[in-house]
Structure 1
Amino acid sequence: MERIHIVAATNDSYAKHLAVMLTSLFENKKSKNPVTIHVIDGELSDDKKRRLTNSVKRFQAEIRFLKVDKSLYEAVKVRYHLSKETYYRISIPALLGQHINKAVYLDCDLIVKEDIANLWNISVHDFELGAVQIPGHVDRYKELSIPEHMGYFNAGVLLLNLRKWRANHTSDKVLRYIRDNQKKLKYMDQDALNAVLKGKWKKLDRRWNYQVHRHRHQNFKPAIIHYTATVKPWSGNPRFKEEYVHYLRKTIW
């Protein structure tokens, strides 16, 4: 049975929220696929590593902590509520073993409500990645030279075709775009990913990245709830806050 590879990036501040996300993922996983969690380490303390390890141990999952080459991201711009760790997803193809050809990247500020294997099993064979388009008005098309019909995706949930990324040197292209277009980047690496991968990504159903501050659909059951924007369930009262609290109570935090 195929092993599922999940990747996240965190620092000490977000370690608790990562534990909540992973708890929700495993609580709702029904498939028998084994899972490896790859955590890109933003200078995590030994205590936070221990807590994260214990968080997944009860689900018989494997967790690995990965060190990124931080020199690649020394001069990057950081805005809004985001941290430098958000850029680390660009390095995933290099950080994971060459034998791993597919991975799911997940932000820490989300809750997984459906079996993650259902996302994993979506084919992205002909694409660099699968992602969910941001609904409604997006003001990035003109600035990034993206035709509107191609869409603009939120980078918090990515189904990555690592084989294609490595073959096409995609990480290098994204990093080069970031270096050369600092003034254009409003949403940092998300802008760069969209600019470089225009026309090369597969549009996934919106339920795989239900962006709380943008969606207002009633009676809709998201597979992944993403607490986008600055209002988070641990500091405010966004929609679906109760989901975060529910899984928080199941963690060692």
Structure 2
Amino acid sequence: MTARFHIALTFDDNFWAPAYATMRSVCLFAHRREALVFHLCHRTLTPEHRADIERITSEFPVTLHWYDLDQSEMFRDIAARMPENKRLSNIVYARLMLDRLVGPAVERILYLDCDMLVRDDIGYLFELDLGDKAIAAVRDTIGAFITGGRDLKRNRDIFDPADYYFNAGLVLIDVAKWREADIIGQMEQAYATGVMQRIYYDQDLLNLIFKDQWLKLDWRWNTIDARHAHEGLDPAILHYTGENKPWGIFAGMLQSVAYARLYRHVMTNELFYRFARHRWKQWWKKRLRLGR
């Protein structure tokens, strides 16, 4: 039995509350809570919001490790040079550095996006036999469109639509094999040859690096674009990849996503409504800037 369950999240200050909700959902549905170790790769995080996240240790016997990416010369260099993800920011590149952040003692780590709700025991994933595979993940339901774009013709010299493509919102990682893959080195090479400028950021890169080297998990461990209909299928992890999120500031946003009410209570009502006020302020600031 695995002694510790190492889980990594990456987020900036705009996602502190969803990060907390993902972490708390892991805790609520895990049986061995004392085995949970969260590796929190963050940037621009205010002391107030860090304190919000640290409150989880008063409810559950978990361990937190913090990594301030603003103090990482490697991350700053990568974030400045690589193609910018305008929707998610260049925090997406942080997961590529996990092997360099967590150290040699961590043998297996589960990466989770912060727009996820866990409702099953993640201990199951840590007991999986990966065989000779470097990672385990779930096939992306729209992988061919992500790589191929309109008419599925873009980047056909890089990707074959017949190949399975995984969603990188959940990745179970054999750290030694991840380290052997030299992901940062391969990213530098892809940038030098112009490939990074053409592909969908780090997710495409990981699919190129680990082609045929990933174990396909059942869909329920990363239920992509989680909608109401999924509730009847007993998903293990909901992934809110669509435009509507369970923390949406407009009522209509909540009506189409799965387990919206459960999500609010997992985040806790106090933090949910405080995060809603935070997002309202951000929304109005953006509107006022556009109106100038």
TM-score (norm 2): 0.79
5+ residue gaps, structure 1? none
1:111-168 alpha-carbon deviations (Å, 9 max, x no partner): 0000110122112241121110012562216616233443111110000111112123
5+ residue gaps, structure 2? 149-153, 273-292
Match for residue 156 of structure 1? 169
- Which runs of 4 or more aligned residues in structure 1 lie more than 4 Å from their structure 2 counterparts after TM superposition? 213-218, 250-253
Give the one of 217, 221, 224 matched to 1:211: 224
Match for residue 248 of structure 1? 267
Q: Tell me whether 1:90 sits opposite 2:90 in the alignment.
A: no
Match for residue 239 of structure 1? 257
Aligned-pair identity in percent equals 25
1:167-214 alpha-carbon deviations (Å, 9 max, x no partner): 2323321343245323312x3111111122211111111011000258
Letter in 1 for 2:25: S
**In structure 1, C-alpha distance between the alignment counterparts of 2:270 and 2:188, rounded to whole Å:** 36
71-80 vs 171-180, greater mean Cα deviation? 171-180
Match for residue 67 of structure 1? 68
Indicate if the aligned counterparts of 2:34 and 2:61 stay in contact, CA closer than 8 A.
no
1:46-86 alpha-carbon deviations (Å, 9 max, x no partner): 11111111123320101111134321221222345322111
Q: Tell me whether 1:7 sits opposite 2:8 in the alignment.
A: yes
Structure showing greater radius of gyration is: 2
After the TM superposition, which residues 172-187 of structure 1 pair with which residues of structure 2 at under 5 Å, given as runs? 172-178=185-191, 180-185=194-199, 187=200
SS at 1:138 equivalent: helix
Letter in 1 for 2:119: K
19 and 32 in structure 1: CA distance in 2 versus 1, 3 angstrom threshold? closer
**1:245, distance to aligned residue in structure 2 (A):** 1.5
**In structure 1, C-alpha distance between the alignment counterparts of 2:229 and 2:205, rounded to whole Å:** 27
242 and 127 in structure 1: CA distance in 2 versus 1, 3 angstrom threshold? same
Letter in 2 for 1:155: A
Match for residue 112 of structure 1? 118
27-36 vs 83-92, greater mean Cα deviation? 27-36
Match for residue 278 of structure 2? none
215 and 196 in structure 1: CA distance in 2 versus 1, 3 angstrom threshold? farther
Q: Which has the higher contact order (CA 8 A, sep 6+)?
A: 1
Q: What is the number of residues matched between the two proteins? A: 252
Greater percentage in helix: 2
Q: Tell me whether 1:170 sits opposite 2:183 in the alignment.
A: yes
Indicate if the aligned counterparts of 1:39 and 1:63 stay in contact, CA closer than 8 A.
yes
Q: Tell me whether 1:228 sits opposite 2:228 in the alignment.
A: no
